Amino acid sequence: ATDSQLYPLAHLGLARAAALASDTARSRQAYQDFLMLWKDADPDNPLLIAAKKEYEMLQ
């Protein structure tokens, strides 16, 4: 369910898996979805920081 705390993390996992599979378009979309879902998260959260760096590397 989309109200699960794990839902955003599923998008991050999908983004990382797609990146490993060289599916850049799918990876970008999944990172965008994750970052949108976590837009109000603590900016110092290490997972959020890592995801932003990984997303930037796809650009």
DSSP states along 14-40:
HHHHHHHTT-HHHHHHHHHHHHHHTTT
Which domain does 14 fall in, by range? 7-58
Instruction: Give the pLDDT confidence of 11-20 residue by residue, as tens digits.
Output: 999 999 999 9
Report if residue 27 sits inside a domain. yes
Report if residue 20 sits inside a domain. yes
Report if residue 34 sits inside a domain. yes
8 A C-beta contact, residue 47 and residue 8: no
Report if residue 2 sits inside a domain. no
Contacts by 44-49, CB closer than 8 A, 24 or more apart: 47/12
Instruction: Give the pLDDT confidence of 3-51 residue by residue, as tens digits.
Output: 788 999 999 999 999 999 999 999 999 999 999 999 999 999 999 999 9
Specify the pTM: 0.91
Residue 40 in tokens: 């109000």
What total number of domains does the chain contain? 1
Report if residue 1 sits inside a domain. no
Of 13, 24, 35, the C-alpha closest to 59 is 24
